[in-house]
Amino acid sequence: MTLQTGLGGRHFRRVALCLILLAGWAMVLSAPAARAAAAPTVGKWALFEGQLAHPRPPTDAVRGVELSTEFTAPDGKVTRFWGFHDGGVKWRFRFSPDQAGRWRYTARFSDGAAQTSGEFDCAASDLPGPLTRWRENPIWFAAGAGGPVVVRSFHVGDRFFATNFPAATRTAFLDWAQGQGYNLLSVGSHYLNRDTPGRGRGWATPQLWDARAKKVIPGEYARAEAILDDLRARRFYVYPFAGFIGRQSQFPTDPADQEVYIRYTLARFAPYWNVLLNVSGPEPLWKPEGYGNRLSFAEVNRLGELIHRLDPFGRLLSVHNASGDDPFRFSSWGSYSTLQGGPAEKSENFSALHNFVFRNHTGSRPIYAQEVLWSGNSLHGGLTPDQVRRKALVLLFAAATINFADMNGDSSSGYSGTLDPAERHPEMHRAAKSAWDFFAKIPFGRLRPTWDVAKKGVCLEEKDRQYWVYLASGGTTGFASAFPVGWKGEWLAPEGDTPPVAVDASGQKSFDAPKVFSKDVVLHLWRD
């Protein structure tokens, strides 16, 4: 082919030059757009969220189509999850990255109507990460970003998530709770409203499930998330007291509907690093007169297995139990035990309390003493601040995590129920805090509870290396055989400013607390 010359050739060259110039300008103009489309950065454990529109959403948006997602970690691990319908043509999908580096994701509708993909960078953050089981000693809770942690839980009533509960009161409470050192809240009506007088009735808490229409209500989830956002910003973990299937509330009863509801709830809530999961509560196996929505043992197991299978993040899962031992403590789906003591354990019977906690240890999961130290509750007796402190130390040295309460009758009364500062008992909170503060100073993550190593007291041991014995009433304790040469020790006051008293443990098997320790005392023994 011969290039034309003359006018036609000059015209061709001008056109070619214009095209080159336009191409250059296009490259310049596209540079800012490329920079704007750079992969976003998400903190480790933080909430990543994307969205995708469906051009022709089905009538039943939740059951008619699924938004499937895949997230590929920097090390190549793939996590499959799903998104959720958020009204109209809009679907969202969420994730909580646990590895620093570049992540890739895809999201597509099951009917092929639309899909998207992208990348984001996960960077180090100051978030504590989800509660887990301490990998080196799984009887203790640990933070995902660190080691074992002293969980300081406080129980609040059904109005906490309600829109007709003053936001200013909630904020004032949270400011106070942070100042006290609390880091977990047990919330009465969280997923569901316990619709009974004196509990959830009258409080506009999120109602996630419409029992009549048999569908989830996206707007109600958004209401709950507004408060969950505040709680995670304040670094509070959250225990849903009523669970997925709650007492005296609306929830699906058909297994197929239950899976729809659980999948949708996990899609929205499970990516929050600060949530714990609860199958059902309170006391789903218990049926006194007037109790509603009792579940069978097999039904709780089925639901627990379903939740465990569907949750890709491995959030800690339990069920709220009635008084007595945890009947699900050896379940394959449970990751922590929730205990409610009986009359003896709720009193000042420290020996019964120690025995109760010890026999519920499995060696592989933490214990959450959910209703064992509820100050002011009519079922727990009239505990004094000193009794609260000593009972808390018995629980801690028995390797149990405490959910404390400040009540004046039942679980919805007093400060825990109303969050009215006028009903607060500061001396009770100081007593619980004193026990937590002392316990946080010992290397509890390396220790395990014992029953018969020390003849008296509540003993934690790192076998053949160190022992910590709490004597709630002081006095004497002993061991089966004398300690060999090289063992040392000290007596410590868990309250007050009494200085430690050194102990030469070599050749000793009986230990008497010095008279300077007039109340409770801790004996620490270790091999040099």
DSSP 336: S
Q: What is the pLDDT of residue 381?
A: 76
Bridging pattern class, strands 401-409 and 367-377: parallel
Torsion of CA 353, 356, 359, 362, to 10 degrees: -90
Q: Nearest CA to 148 among 366, 359, 356? A: 366
Element (H, E) at 405: strand 401-409
236-241 average pLDDT score = 96
Bridging pattern class, strands 131-133 and 141-143: antiparallel
Q: Assign 504 to helix, strand or coil.
A: strand
Give the contacts of 483 (CB within 8 A, at least 6 positions apart): 505, 506, 507, 508, 509, 525
> Measured in whole angstroms, how far is the alpha carbon of residue 48 from the centre of its chain?
19
The Cα–Cα gap between 442 and 468 comes to 9
CATH no. for 41-123 = 2.60.40.10
> Measured in whole angstroms, how far is the alpha carbon of residue 93 from the centre of its chain?
21
- Using the predicted structure, report yes or no on whether residue 8 has a pLDDT greater than 50: no
Q: What is the pLDDT of residue 193?
A: 87
Q: Nearest CA to 254 among 26, 63, 487, 106? A: 63
Render pLDDT for 108-130 as a digit per residue (tens, 0 to 9): 999 999 999 999 999 999 999 99
Render pLDDT for 43-80 as a digit per residue (tens, 0 to 9): 999 999 999 999 999 999 999 999 999 999 999 999 99
Element (H, E) at 63: helix 61-64
Render pLDDT for 307-335 as a digit per residue (tens, 0 to 9): 999 999 999 999 999 999 999 999 999 99
* Order of all β-strands in the sheet with 78-82: 41-43, 115-123, 101-109, 67-72, 78-82
What residue spans of 295-408 are helical by DSSP H? Answer: 297-310, 350-359, 385-397
The Cα–Cα gap between 300 and 321 comes to 11
Task: Count CB atoms within 10 A of the CB of residue 514.
Answer: 12
In sequence order, what are the beta bridge partners of 215? 210
DSSP 126-170: S----EEE-TTSTTSEEETTSSB---EEEEE-TTTT-TTS-HHHH
pTM: 0.91
Q: What is the pLDDT of residue 292?
A: 67
Contact 360, 329 (CB under 8 A): yes
Render pLDDT for 400-458 as a digit per residue (tens, 0 to 9): 999 999 999 988 899 999 999 999 999 999 999 999 999 999 999 999 999 999 999 99
Q: Nearest CA to 441 among 478, 479, 488, 490? A: 490
Whose tokens are 């009792």? That residue is: 294
Assess if CATH 1.10.357.10 describes domain 131-445.
Answer: no
Lowest mean pLDDT among 163-177, 375-389, 468-482: 375-389
Q: Does the CA dihedral 267-269-272-278 come out positive or negative?
A: negative
Q: What is the pLDDT of residue 379?
A: 86
